[in-house]
Amino acid sequence: MASESTPQQLLATALADGLAQIEASDSTDALKAVLTGLTGKKGSLVAIRSSLGKVDDLEARKALGQLVNEAMTTLEEASVVRSRALRANEFAAQIEQERVDLTELAMSAQASRRRGRMHLVTQATERLEDVFVGLGFQIAEGPEVETDFYNFEALNMPPSHPARSMWDTLFIESDIEGSVVLRTHTSPVQIRVMKEWPPPIYAIMPGRVFRKETPDATHMPVFHQIEGLVIDRGITFADLAGTIESFTKAFFGPGFTSRLRPSYFPFTEPSAEFDIRRPDGSWIELGGCGMVHPHVLRAGGLDPNEWSGFAFGFGIDRMAKERHGVEDLRDMYSDDVRFTEQFS
Which span (143-151, 242-250, 254-262, 283-291) binds ligand DAH, by CB under 6 A?
283-291
Name the 3-class secondary structure at 304: coil
Q: Select 185 or 192, whichever has its Cβ closest to ligand DAH.
A: 185
Contact residue for ligand DAH among 11, 203, 296, 311 (CB under 6 A): 311
- Minimum distance from residue 269 beta carbon to ligand DAH (Å): 10
Rounded to whole angstroms, the Cα distance separating 102 from 80 reads 37
Q: Select 152 or 252, whichever has its Cβ closest to ligand DAH.
A: 152
Residues paired with residue 291 on neighbouring β-strands, in sequence order: 310
Report the amino acid identity of residue 291. Answer: M
How far is C-alpha 55 from the geometric centre of its chain's CA atoms? Answer: 70
Q: Select 147 or 340, whichever has its Cβ closest to ligand DAH.
A: 147
Q: Does 67 bind ligand DAH (CB under 6 A)?
A: no
Residues paired with residue 277 on neighbouring β-strands, in sequence order: 257, 283
Q: Select 75 or 209, whichever has its Cβ closest to ligand DAH.
A: 209
Rounded to whole angstroms, the Cα distance separating 87 from 95 reads 12
Contact residue for ligand DAH among 289, 320, 329, 332 (CB under 6 A): 289
* Contact indicator for 311, 194 with CB cutoff of 8 Å: no
User: What is the size of the binding site for ligand DAH (CB under 6 A)?
Assistant: 12
Contact residue for ligand DAH among 18, 288, 300, 309 (CB under 6 A): 288
Q: Select 7 or 287, whichever has its Cβ closest to ligand DAH.
A: 287
Q: Which helix (H) or strand (E) holds 233?
A: none
- The total number of residues shown for the chain amounts to 344
| Residue spans of beta strands (DSSP E) within 21-163 | 138-139, 145-147
- Minimum distance from residue 138 beta carbon to ligand DAH (Å): 16
Contact string (CB under 6 A) for ligand DAH, positions 201-240, x = contact: --------------------------x-------------
Rounded to whole angstroms, the Cα distance separating 338 from 139 reads 31
Contact string (CB under 6 A) for ligand DAH, positions 166-205, x = contact: -------------------x-x------------------
Q: Does 156 bind ligand DAH (CB under 6 A)?
A: no
* Contact indicator for 8, 14 with CB cutoff of 8 Å: no
Cis peptide before 200 (omega within 30 of 0): yes
Which span (3-11, 69-77, 146-154, 306-314) binds ligand DAH, by CB under 6 A?
306-314
Q: Does 142 bind ligand DAH (CB under 6 A)?
A: no
Contact residue for ligand DAH among 313, 318, 319, 326 (CB under 6 A): 313
β pairing state of 308-315 and 257-265: unpaired
* Contact indicator for 11, 38 with CB cutoff of 8 Å: no
Q: Does 300 bind ligand DAH (CB under 6 A)?
A: no
β pairing state of 222-232 and 257-265: unpaired
Contact residue for ligand DAH among 150, 247, 251, 265 (CB under 6 A): 265
Rounded to whole angstroms, the Cα distance separating 164 from 177 reads 16
Residue numbers at the binding site for ligand DAH (CB under 6 A): 185, 187, 227, 265, 268, 287-290, 311-313
